[in-house]
């Protein structure tokens, strides 16, 4: 009986990791589509979201079934709860990738700022590294690595603030870029939120190890819109 439970749990872990890789690819493609104004690639991200959603629904269903049928306690229960909670965060990350893709579809010949677009691409690369890092930490249940990944979110938040301020500056000096700059701010905001969800998963990895919920995302979200 224990062997069957371990096999089912291991299968859940693998399922979660595969979902994470799909989400990371969706985030990468969505930003690439936005920067390159590639509406075909953006539509690919939108169409692929159904797969991410299915992964999340399947994981949640199987987690509930294992809790009901196996009645796990202590460490085993934490493992299942971690998968269920972290997969929900992955699903939300996929939703933000879709939002970025929809911004690409919506844009119609708006004036562009290549410097800001380069900043957005650089910001998204940092988030991509974060996503891969948290997946690696999850696989080996490495709480220290999870903390390091969460700390890197500070750089992502700083990038958001820089992009936001650059957009405001451009909008003030050039009315023709207002629509485009608004999309830049929205997309940068979506990327920033993806970084926050990665931090949430880092917290679940620490919970898995310690049984304690640790707040790693301590910065004030309202700071993004202050002093701009």
Query: pLDDT-derived band of residue 197, with 50, 70 and 90 as boundaries?
Result: very high
Verdict on whether the full-model pTM lies above 0.85: yes
> What are the pLDDT digits (tens) for 122-156?
999 999 999 999 999 998 989 999 999 999 999 99
Q: Is the pLDDT of residue 223 over 60?
A: no
Greater pLDDT, 211 or 166: 166
pLDDT reported for residue 73: 82
Residues 6 or more apart in contact with residue 20 via CB below 8 angstroms:
90, 131, 134, 135, 138
The full set of domain ranges for the chain reads: 2-225
Residue 221 carries which DSSP code? G
Return mean pLDDT, the chain: 89
Give the domain 2-225 fold: Methane Monooxygenase Hydroxylase; Chain G, domain 1 (1.20.58)
Residue with tokens 């949430």: 200
Distance CA 62, CA 46 (A): 26
Q: Which of 23-32, 54-63, 190-199, 214-223 has the lowest mean pLDDT?
A: 214-223
Other beta carbons less than 10 A from residue 159's beta carbon = 21
């Amino acid at each position: 009986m224990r062997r069957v439970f371990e096999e089912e749990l291991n299968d859940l872990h693998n399922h979660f990791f595969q979902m994470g890789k799909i989400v990371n690819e969706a985030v990468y493609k969505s930003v690439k589509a936005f920067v390159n104004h590639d509406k075909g690639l953006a539509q690919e991200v939108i169409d692929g979201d159904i797969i991410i959603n299915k992964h999340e629904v399947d994981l949640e269903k199987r987690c509930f079934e294992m809790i009901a049928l196996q009645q796990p306690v202590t460490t085993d229960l934490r493992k299942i709860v971690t998968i269920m909670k972290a997969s929900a965060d992955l699903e939300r990350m996929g939703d933000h990738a879709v939002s970025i893709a929809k911004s690409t579809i919506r844009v119609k010949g708006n004036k562009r700022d290549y410097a800001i677009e380069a900043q957005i691409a650089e910001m998204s690369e940092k988030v991509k590294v974060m996503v891969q890092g948290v997946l690696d930490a999850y696989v080996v249940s490495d709480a220290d690595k999870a903390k390091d990944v969460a700390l890197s979110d500070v750089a992502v938040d700083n990038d958001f603030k820089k992009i936001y301020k650059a957009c405001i500056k451009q909008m003030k000096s050039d009315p023709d870029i207002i629509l485009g700059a608004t999309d830049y701010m929205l997309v940068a905001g979506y990327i920033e939120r993806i970084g926050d969800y990665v931090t949430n998963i880092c917290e679940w990895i620490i919970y898995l190890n310690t049984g304690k919920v640790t707040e790693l995302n301590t910065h004030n979200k309202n700071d993004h819109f202050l002093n701009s």
